[in-house]
């Protein structure tokens, strides 16, 4: 089982870290969107669940009014990693994973997938009809 400190070091060595705090890291990603590049923020936080250390991965998408709730639920059901949630009026991609069986390959996949899905949904939200 890797420790939080080992996990932080791995992330810092392999990803673009924008913020480094004792219990969380902030990453930045850039994905192509046509001729532009979509910027995505991601937060990786140490949390406790069931008496054990877990990683919480969060990626902001868009304000609640930007996407129809039915579309959000439908998309969440199709996601291979994580799901969509509502947090403080924003849709977010949210994924939780235990440190107890964490591997670097699994972590890297989860980080990239959740960031990519959030960026893709944000682009989609710009063309979606607003909900009342």
pLDDT reported for residue 124: 80
Instruction: Please tell me the total count of domains within the chain.
Output: 1
Are residues 110 and 119 in contact, defined by beta-carbon separation less than 8 angstroms?
no
Residue 54 structural domain = 4-63+86-127
In a domain? residue 20:
yes
In a domain? residue 58:
yes
Dig out the tokens for 79 from the structure. Answer: 């996601």
In a domain? residue 113:
yes
- For residues 53-58, average pLDDT: 97
- For residues 37-53, average pLDDT: 93
pLDDT reported for residue 21: 96
CA gap 59, 41 in Å, rounded: 6
Higher-confidence residue of 30 and 14: namely 14
In a domain? residue 71:
no
In a domain? residue 68:
no
CA gap 34, 104 in Å, rounded: 30
Percent of the chain with pLDDT over 70: 93
> What DSSP element (H or E) covers 11?
helix 4-14
CA gap 96, 55 in Å, rounded: 6
Q: What is the DSSP string of 81-132?
A: S-EEEEETTEEEEEEEEESTT--HHHHHHHHHHHHHHHHHHHHHHHHSPPP-
Each residue of 79-132: pLDDT tens digit?
Answer: 999 999 999 999 999 999 999 999 999 999 999 999 999 988 888 887 765 555
Are residues 64 and 86 in contact, defined by beta-carbon separation less than 8 angstroms?
yes
Q: How far is CA 27 from the centre of its chain?
A: 10
pTM of the model: 0.89
pLDDT reported for residue 35: 63
């Amino acid at each position: 089982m890797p420790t939080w400190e080992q996990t932080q070091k791995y992330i810092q060595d392999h990803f673009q870290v924008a913020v480094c705090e004792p219990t969380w890291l902030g990453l930045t990603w850039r994905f192509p969107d046509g001729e532009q590049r979509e910027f995505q923020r991601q937060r990786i936080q140490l949390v406790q669940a069931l008496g054990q250390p877990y990683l919480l991965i969060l990626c902001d998408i868009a304000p609640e009014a930007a996407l129809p709730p039915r579309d959000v639920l439908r998309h969440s059901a199709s996601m291979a990693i994580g799901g969509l949630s509502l947090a403080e009026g924003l849709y977010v991609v949210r994924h939780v994973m235990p440190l107890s069986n964490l591997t670097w390959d699994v972590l890297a996949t989860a980080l990239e997938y959740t960031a990519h899905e959030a960026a893709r949904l944000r682009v989609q939200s710009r063309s979606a009809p607003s909900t009342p």
